[in-house]
Structure 1
Amino acid sequence: MSIPGLDAWLQTPPGRYVMAWEQAAIDALVADVFGYNAIQLGLPQCSLLAQNRIPLRQVADDSGKVDVLCDLRQLPFAASSIDLVVMSHVLEFHDDPHQILREVERVLIPEGEVIIAGFNPISIWGLRRRLPNCPRHFPWNGHYLSVSRLKDWLQLLGFEADRGSFGCYVPPFRNERWLRHWRFIEASGSRWWNFAGGVYVLRAVKRVHSMRLIMPNWKQRGAPRKALSVVSEKEIARHE
């Protein structure tokens, strides 16, 4: 998925700041996920599966240096064949995020995991988009999804999501010096208003409720035994 302005933004101080936090948060989540197949959707500029130990790890996108070149709305993977899916800033910059999530649900195995990173609209970063002088290039031109809305979408697809983690409480300064100067707010932000981080990482597990078959009772009951009656000597002599 080619996003105009993404490559240039990743080289800026706020871009490096955001991706450093996301990389650390995702690394911690994927380190203990096991299986056979893992895919990263979008953002081929970053290796979000670097700390995962699944043997086959692939990056899929519709452009760039990827392992699988494809439309993210039609993933070329068999149903229930992927153990882990990771995607960062894919849903808020795509015109059909619902279909991407449906495809993720289709390819994941039961109890498979999806990890999603995105910009938080309920944050200073999200409010920045509403200001009159806000630029129209990446990352301000996306349709930011709140964690609560994303959880609702995932729940409709049968996923169970965790609370999510938030980071990047420093305002989106373009200057490296100001970003470093405001780093003190990270600790207080995560403690007092942890829901207001500029970005979030959310993990969800695909739940498949097992069916319980009600079988008929094939065990036949034995025929009732006939009660024995006492026969008198006269009745025996009559039949002789």
Structure 2
Amino acid sequence: MTQNPARDSALAASVAAADWYRGPVGRLVAADLVAMLARRAETAFGYHALVLGEAGLEIERRFGWARQLRIDHRVLAGPPGAGAGGRPGALPVELDALPIESEAADLVIALHVLEDRRNPHEILREIDRTLRPEGRLLIVGLNPASLLHLRSRFWPGCHAPLALGHHHPTWRVVDWLRVLGYRIEAIEPVGGVIPWCRDTAYQRGERPRRWSAEWAWFLNGLYVIDATRRVARPSRPKPTFRLASLVGQPVRGEVAGLRRHSSILQQR
């Protein structure tokens, strides 16, 4: 690792997560995560994909989004000053002010970017602005109810990078997305329940991880939220109820500078 996230409190949580994915267990979790994201994105079609977060660059170096996603054109973006501009195709951006045209992306993958803010509403609104109607959004986050989060806080060890940031529970992120009008397609766990620090122990625990994904999904270390941006349909206009005209009182109004009167005044 190039930095020690546990000592650098100014380091963004999304950048610290990328350091964790470089570790022995993080590499294995990243492989499982990429396989899940590829499976969730099988039904996402279009021309442009946006991958947000420094972890996307680390995953690209070892696995490659080109082999996993069906969308040919991809933009990998991360926080400025985090090394995101050192690789061709990467874009250093402010997460709450993305230099992307409105409704330009068909798929957005957000890797731990919500953890950079206690109230990440600006980031969600920017993601919503860049995503086209019926576009897909995949959000990856650390589960604050998991043993992995507990160990990163009190017995960090190899999971020290995950201690930084603001970790939002799944139900809260789902509520935010529903307020924005998204349809939740699925919520899937990643990483298992036991926060191993040895890659050999993580590999031997493949069967317990499958079991925990079925029966203890709410305790898994990471979660993936799959959501679709629904098309906003305008509501039908309702007729205005004018009580004054019904009781025979004059009703005056101006339309384009012209005065109009009720039929009672015209009869006079």
Band of TM-score, shorter chain: 0.7 to 0.9
What secondary structure sits across from 1:99 in the alignment?
A: helix
Is the Cα–Cα contact under 8 Å of residues 18 and 199 in structure 1 kept in the other structure? Answer: no
Q: Does 1:22 align with 2:33?
A: yes
Give 5+ residue unaligned stretches, structure 1.
Answer: 217-240
Tell me: CA distance 1:7–1:36, structure 2 relative to 1, closer, same or farther (3 Å).
Answer: closer
Q: TM-score, normalised by structure 2?
A: 0.71
**Which residue identity is paired with 2:98?**
L
User: Pick from 52, 77, 92: which aligns with 2:69?
Assistant: 52
Give 5+ residue unaligned stretches, structure 2.
Answer: 1-10, 240-268
CA shift digits 1:19-41 (9 cap, x unpaired): 11111110111223111221111
Q: TM-score, normalised by structure 1?
A: 0.79
What secondary structure sits across from 1:9 in the alignment?
A: helix
Number of residue pairs aligned between Structure 1 and Structure 2: 215
Tell me: CA distance 1:209–1:191, structure 2 relative to 1, closer, same or farther (3 Å).
Answer: same
Q: Which has the higher helix share?
A: 2
CA distance in 2, matches of 1:53, 1:99: 29
CA distance in 2, matches of 1:94, 1:193: 28
CA distance in 1, matches of 2:19, 2:229: 35
State the shift of 1:211 in Å.
1.8
CA shift digits 1:151-203 (9 cap, x unpaired): 01111112122331112215222222322333331122122212221111111
Q: Does 1:160 align with 2:160?
A: no
Is the Cα–Cα contact under 8 Å of residues 84 and 113 in structure 1 kept in the other structure? Answer: yes
CA distance in 1, matches of 2:17, 2:221: 17
Greater CA deviation, 50-59 or 104-113? 50-59
Q: What does residue range 81-160 of structure 1 map to in structure 2 within 5 Å?
A: 81-94=104-117, 97-131=120-154, 133-134=155-156, 137-160=160-183
State the shift of 1:16 in Å.
1.1
Tell me: CA distance 1:38–1:180, structure 2 relative to 1, closer, same or farther (3 Å).
Answer: closer
CA distance in 2, matches of 1:119, 1:142: 10
CA distance in 2, matches of 1:186, 1:98: 32
Identity level (%): 31
Q: 1:72 matched to which residue of 2?
A: 95
Q: 2:262 matched to which residue of 1?
A: none
CA shift digits 1:104-162 (9 cap, x unpaired): 1111111111101111112221232453x446941122322111011011111121223
CA distance in 2, matches of 1:150, 1:103: 15
Larger radius of gyration: 1
